Amino acid sequence: MKVRVSTDDRTATTCNEECLCSVGEAAVYTLAAECRDKTRRGATCRAPLRASTGTNYASGKADEFFVWQPGAYREGGVCRVSSTTRDTLIAVYATCSRVGAQEPLGFSNSEGHTATVDFPCVAGREYHLFWNAEYMPGRHAFTLSERCDGGRCLRATGRRSLSIVAPRWVRFRDRKKKQRA
């Protein structure tokens, strides 16, 4: 495949969302530099918006891609993406290649309720989130979080940790005090 970089004005209107323009032959494309500059952030998986742990916002008016990098667990972590608005669609991918055709790590079509996706995750790895605006929910918040899967987890800092659901407090009596009395 040949690639040429083109900077003329027509590329802003005649190229696809990846800014590739066909030049007649099926195997010849031009890369449109001007188109790339005008591509809306989040419009493609290759030009995603950045998301962070906690609350983020999607426009809900256009399909949007986000990229997120968890940081808590190198092993045993489970990540969660959840919307705060009903009628939203989310898919989570491990890579940006072949989005849609590949099996997502998680998917939720909320249809009347909020969307939530849990998936195994590793600190430092990038995950690609795709919010589909099919239902046009408008701007909505979504949260990203991490937790231990309930077994042994290896924190990104290198320490092992156990997930404890509810600590139990035990009363301790000093037997030596009783014996002295």
CB 33 within 8 A of CB 44: no
Q: What percent of the chain has pLDDT over 70?
A: 63
Give me Rg for the CA atoms of the chain: 24
Residue 158 or 43, more confident = 43
Residue 68 pLDDT: 97
* Tens digits of residue pLDDT in 50-82: 999 999 999 988 999 999 999 999 999 999 999
**Which segment of 10-19, 33-42, 151-160 scores lowest on mean pLDDT?**
10-19
CB 53 within 8 A of CB 156: no
Residue 161 or 51, more confident = 51
Q: Tokens 């790895």: give the residue.
A: 125
Number of Cα atoms under 13 Å in the Cβ half of residue 118: 7
Residue of 115, 168, 158 whose CA lies nearest to 137: 115
Residue of 68, 77, 181 whose CA lies nearest to 130: 68
Read off the pLDDT of each residue in 8-32 and give the average, rounded to a whole number.
60
Sheet holding 77-86, edge to edge: 54-58, 140-148, 77-86, 114-121
Q: Terminal CA-to-CA distance of the chain, rounded, Å?
A: 91
CB 124 within 8 A of CB 57: no
Longest dimension (CA), the chain: 100
Quickly name the fold that domain 49-149 has. Jelly Rolls (2.60.120)
Residue 9 pLDDT: 60
Question: Would you kindly state where each structural domain of the chain is located, as residue ranges?
Answer: 2-38, 49-149
